[in-house]
Chains A and B, each alone.
Chain A
Amino acid sequence: MSTVTDSIFLPATAARFDKLVTLYPVKRSALVPMLLYAQDEVGYVSDAVVAEIARRLDLLELDVRGVLSYYSMLRTQPAGKFNVQVCTNISCMVVGGYDILDHCKARLGIGHKEVTPDGQFSLEEVECIGACCWAPAMQVNYDFHDNLTPAKVDAILDDYAAGRGLDVK
Chain B
Amino acid sequence: MPELVSHPDEVKVLSRRFGQGAAEIDKYMELDGYKAVQRAIEQGPEWVINEMKASGLRGRGGAGFPTGMKWSFVPKTSEKPKYVLVNGDESEPGTCKDHVIFLHDPHAIIEGTMIAGLAIGAKMGFIYLRGEYRYLLKIVEKAVADAYAKGVLGKSIFGKEGVDFDIVTQTGAGAYEVGEESALMESLEGKRGVPRIKPPFPAVVGLYGGPTVINNAETIARAPHILLMGGAEYAKIGSERNGGTRLFGISGMVERPGIYELPMGYNLKKAIYEVAGGVKGGKKLKAVVPGGSSCPVLTADELDVGLDFDQMGKAGTMLGSGGIVVLDETVSMVEFALRTIKFYQHESCGWCVPCREGTDWLKKTLTRFYNGGGNAKDINNIQYLAENMMGRTFCPLGDAAAMPTIAFVKKFRHEFEEYLGGTRTEKAFITTDELVGAAH
Contact = CB atoms under 8 A, between A and B. Distances in A.
Interface string B411-440: 000000000000000001100001000100
Contacts of A168: 134-135
Nearest to B280: A95
B92 A88 contact: no
A133 B258 contact: yes
Contacts of B242: none
A127 B95 contact: no
A71 B131 contact: yes
A144 B173 CA distance: 16
B159 interface: no
A102 B346 contact: no
Contacts of A158: none
B192 interface: yes
A133 B192 contact: no
Contacts of A107: none
Interface string A114-145: 00000000000001111111110001001110
Given A25-B208, A89-B343, A142 B132 contact: yes
A142 B135 contact: yes
A90 interface: yes
B249 A132 contact: yes
Nearest to A102: B428
Interface stretch (B48-56, B182-190, B376-384): B182-190
A149 to B, nearest CB: 15
Interface in B98-137: 98-99, 124, 130-135
A67 B132 contact: no
* Centre residue among B171, B173, B189, B327 by max chain A CB count within 10 A: B173
B169 to A, nearest CB: 9
B3 A91 contact: no
A71 B171 CA distance: 12
B132 A93 contact: no
Interface residues of B, number: 61
B135 A132 contact: no
Interface string A90-102: 1101110010001
A35 interface: yes
Contacts of B131: 36, 71, 73
Given A73-B132, A134-B257, A142-B135, A30 B190 contact: yes
B173 A74 contact: yes
Given A70-B349, A71-B175, A132-B251, A90 B189 contact: no
A152 B49 CA distance: 49
Contacts of A70: 175, 192-193, 349
A109 interface: no
Interface in B325-361: 325, 327-328, 331, 336, 339-340, 343, 346-347, 349
A146 to B, nearest CB: 7
B168 A130 contact: no
Interface residues of A, number: 45
A76 interface: no
A28 B187 CA distance: 10
B210 to A, nearest CB: 9
B130 to A, nearest CB: 7
Contacts of B191: 28, 31, 67
Contact of A95 (B3, B252, B429): B252
B261 to A, nearest CB: 13
B372 interface: no
B401 interface: no
Contacts of A67: 190-192
Interface in A54-70: 57, 66-67, 70
Interface string B358-402: 000000000000000000000000000000000000000000000
Nearest to B330: A94
A31 B2 contact: no
A35 B173 contact: yes
B277 interface: no
A127 B94 contact: no
B172 A71 contact: yes
A151 interface: no
Contact of B429 (A74, A98, A128): A98
A161 interface: no
A134 B190 contact: no
* Centre residue among B3, B95, B170, B347 by max chain A CB count within 10 A: B170
B176 interface: yes
A32 B325 contact: no
Given A133-B96, A142-B135, A29 B189 contact: yes
Given A28-B190, A73-B131, A133-B251, A128 B174 contact: no
A66 B92 CA distance: 24
Nearest to B168: A23
Contacts of B193: 70-71
A73 B176 CA distance: 12
14 contacts: A32-B171, A70-B175, A71-B193, A88-B339, A90-B93, A90-B325, A112-B438, A128-B92, A130-B90, A132-B257, A133-B257, A139-B132, A144-B135, A168-B134
Closest 6 CB pairs of A and B: A73-B174, A31-B190, A28-B190, A71-B173, A72-B174, A142-B134
Given A130-B96, A132-B94, 15 more contacts: A25-B81, A28-B189, A29-B190, A32-B170, A33-B173, A74-B174, A90-B93, A91-B93, A94-B325, A95-B253, A127-B93, A128-B94, A130-B91, A133-B250, A144-B2
